[in-house]
Structure formats: C-alpha cells, structure tokens
Amino acid sequence: MGYSVDFSKYEKHINRALKSAIYRNTCQRYYGNVMVSSSEQLIDPQLWARNAGKPYIHDGQLCRGAFDLGRCDDFAAWALAFPGLLDETPGADDIDDGITALHTYDLIGKSYTCEARAESLMNPQIDLWIEQGLLEVHPGDQVDFEQIEQDIVEVSNRYAVQSWAFDAMFAPQMAQHLINKHGINAVKFGQSPNWYNPGIRELMRALRRGDVAHGDDAVMAWQALNLIVTRDARDLWMPDKSHKDKKIDIMVAILMAISDCLFHAAEDDGRRSVYETRGLRTI
C-alpha cells in the first residue's frame, strides 16, 4: 500500500465505492484484498428516492410490459415501462459500454401475494401494505393467476401496450391465454445475463440521470432495494433470485419490460413524438 498502488488511487476508489453500492464489491476485491460474493446490491436508497416523481402517462402512450409469476407461498407482479424520448443530447455519463441512453422511463405495476405466504414474509410491514391496498393478497397458499390475467387484460385495454414479456418456465399457460383468448402479444424472455444485462444497465443510467418516475410506490421501492445482481465472466448482469425473503418480482418485470423497450426502440421511437411524453414547453 502506497508502493504498488498510490494512496491517491485508494482514496479515489474508496470515495466511488461510498457513493455506489454496485462498485463496493469491486473496490473491496481489487483494492482491499477481500474475498467478496459475485452478487451485489444494485440500487442505492438515495438514488431510488431521487426518482420518486409521478409517472406522466396518457392512454395512447406506447409502452412495453412484463409479468413475473411466483410459485406457492410467493409473490407475483406485472409492470409497464413507458419510454419517453430525451429532449437533450446525452452526456458522457449516459454512455456505458458503448451504449448511449436514449429514454426516460415512467414505471407502473402491481404486486400480489397470498395469505399463506412464507414465514419470512409474515411481517407488519407487508400486512400494512395489504391494509393500505398497495399489495393485493389472495386466499390460500398461492397467488390467483386468473386474477392476475384479468388485471393484465384490463391494463392492456387501457394502455397502448405493445407486448408482454414473460418467463417461459413459469408463465407459459398465462401467456397462451393472453395470446389465444385475448389477442394480446406475449413474448418469451430468456432468463440469462444476455437478456437482462441491457435492461439493468439502462435502468441504472436512467436512475443516475433522474429520468425515472416510479411514483414512490412503497412496495416497488422495497423490492428495488432488495434487488441483487450477479455478474458473469463477461461482466453481464442479471437479477439474483436465490434470496427467497428478498422479493424482487416487480423489479424483474420492470427489467424485462425495459429490455424489451430497448430491443424495439427504433421501431417504437419512429412512431412517437417527444410531445407525447413531456408535453409542450415554452421559452
């Protein structure tokens, strides 16, 4: 210390780690000689709180959706991401791994649980959210997939939802119902870093810019701060779903929806005006 790596470099990296939860493990590993996990908390509470604005949404605004269905005694959720066009040139902080952030994001969603959920999820905080109507609870030991399907159909009829992404392992039956019974476009989303990485990085770029509006939804905030990501050898990120008491279902849905927005960006942006998302401004 002080020879192979100068003290000023330690100071620089430690200050960065204090400001960024995602960088903390990297700093400990390479500059503290500490063995760390490959999993890292993604979103800092202050960063999420700075984006607590009310979503600006109208019925004809293009959006992409996704749903994440849990198993027994679990959570489930759906989410919509409404991408808006930036009205300024992206700066250097908006570029990550050669990718330039192009959108703002308004986020809405809904979470579900069941009465006989896991013991680790029996706590006053969750009970309060149920009483306040922020979290929908279903009787028994499993969320009611038919009710979630009805909600998705209702939301699809209200908003200009271009597609719904889903996990082919846990949600194929609901996806088939949406396609065959309701004429809704549902698309498979691979559960691998290749699929999740673009959406995670885009969400973080937009959060740092202050270009996300999530409405300060308490249940969404809890799951956002629960979100842990893993990195593979190529530095591709994906959500870590192994922590059963740290529910992240709505964040998984948000990441799938944002990833789908990026995949269809050229197609959707060609049909959208900036005035649809931020309104008229005068000087």
> For 172-226, what is each residue's pLDDT tens digit?
999 999 999 999 999 999 999 999 999 999 999 999 999 999 999 999 999 999 9
Phi-psi region of 33 (alpha: psi -120 to 50; beta: other; left: phi over 0): left
Is 3.20.20.210 the CATH classification of the domain at 42-278? no
Q: Could you read off the pLDDT of 108-147 as tens digits, one per residue?
A: 999 999 998 878 788 899 999 999 999 999 998 889 999 9
Does the pTM exceed 0.85? Answer: no
Q: Averaged over 32-38, what is the pLDDT?
A: 63
Identify the sign of the CA torsion 99, 100, 101, 102. negative
